[in-house]
A and B are shown apart, each in its own frame.
Chain A
Amino acid sequence: MTEENTPENSVRKGMPLWIQITVWSVMIALLVVVFVGLQRAREGNVQAGAETANFDFTMPLFEGYDYEGAQEISLTDLRGKIVVLNFWATWCVPCQQEADELEEAWQHYKPDGEVIFVGVDYVDTEPEALAYLAEYGITYPNGPDMGTKISQAFRIQGVPETYFLDRNGVVQHVQLGPFSSTQQIIGIVDSLR
């Protein structure tokens, strides 16, 4: 008679249990990492309705672009105000196109203090950033995205991107690409007041 493939034989010939457990654990862990990565990539940028409390940040500010005398700005400190968070870079041509409009809109809201504009400089060098801000006469608080943590939190897809946060820190509108006019910015902000 031929030798049957009995359970005893399978155990004798199979891999030791600890190797099987290790291999399966590693495979499952890798699949989870890949799945999470793909899921995150598929999500795209932060959408309207997102609570920014989940990805609060503190950003250092460029010299001369402070916020109420402070050299850094925290998103939680801005609760109670409408926040216009603009991601930009000096090497980004569309950012240059909307620079004047953003400054004009900031000047429009600056006196009442209920709206705050914040510029987040993405993957840039400080000398060029300061030159850019001076060239376009930008005066609202601006700082570098240190470690690209803020842009990663908002999962930006490019620059310029602008996020309009209401007084509770909830994203109410997302502008991908440049604004066409100052009135467009004012229209969006007024809808949140």
Chain B
Amino acid sequence: MKKLNILILLFIIISLFAVMPVSAQGGDDGVSDDEVNAIARDLFCPVCENTPLDVCETQACKQWRELIRLKLSEGQTEAEIKQYFVDNYGARVLDEPPKEGFNLLVYFVPPAIILVGIIVLFRAFKEWQGDDQEEYEDSSEGSIEPKRASADDDYMAQFEEELKKKK
């Protein structure tokens, strides 16, 4: 009976642990993985191109994440940590290049190209519209036949005249 009571007690304790809320694991420093990943997802390790730091599984990226954890535990802000990575590994570690110098091209060239494209298309549509209108205006009054019809008439008249001459 005593053994049964101990078993029941153990079962209750284990059950209590099982229903405890689960949160992202943190180290002894009190910094959770979520906090580390919130910064890591905006960084890219130069060794693993195109893979955000928070999902990269290489040894280098693991070390970087540990460094973020260390700096967070030291009380550094997100901006300070990102600046540390830029100073040490270059601006290419950022997911968005800083808006300065040559990088400005990234921000201005694509919108400029789209703008120019819109202007070109707008003008082209306007010209096509203008051409259609001119064709109708040039055709005979009251007729809805386009200009091609009048050109065909000229050709037919010339063709008939040539036939008459042959006869």
Q: Residues of A at under 8 Å CB distance from B?
A: 2-3, 13, 15, 19, 22-23, 26, 30, 33, 89-91, 123-125, 127-128, 144, 146-149, 152
Contact = CB atoms under 8 A, between A and B. Distances in A.
B96 interface: no
Contacts, number: 55
Q: Which 5 A-B pairs have the closest CB atoms?
A: A91-B59, A147-B90, A91-B60, A125-B67, A125-B63
B116 A22 contact: yes
A148 B66 contact: no
Given A3-B134, A147-B87, 17 more contacts: A15-B120, A19-B119, A33-B105, A90-B59, A91-B47, A91-B63, A123-B46, A124-B63, A125-B63, A125-B64, A127-B67, A127-B70, A128-B63, A146-B87, A147-B89, A148-B46, A149-B90
A123 B67 CA distance: 12
Interface of B: 45-47, 58-60, 63-64, 66-67, 70, 86-90, 92, 105, 109, 112-113, 116, 119-120, 123, 127, 134, 138, 147, 151
Nearest to B45: A123
Contact of A90 (B63, B127, B134): B63
A2 B70 CA distance: 80
What is the interface of chain A mostly: helix, strand, loop, or mixed?
A: helix
B109 A123 contact: no
Contact of A13 (B66, B86, B127, B138): B127
Contact of B47 (A2, A3, A123, A144): A123
Given A13-B127, A147-B88, A149-B90, A26 B112 contact: yes
Nearest to B68: A125
A89 B127 CA distance: 62
A19 B116 contact: yes
A144 B112 contact: no
A152 B134 CA distance: 61
Given A2-B147, A144-B88, A149-B90, A89 B116 contact: no
B137 to A, nearest CB: 11
Contacts of B151: 2
Nearest to B138: A3
Nearest to B64: A125
A128 B67 CA distance: 10
A123 B127 contact: no
B81 to A, nearest CB: 12
A91 B116 CA distance: 48
A151 to B, nearest CB: 9
A152 B91 CA distance: 13
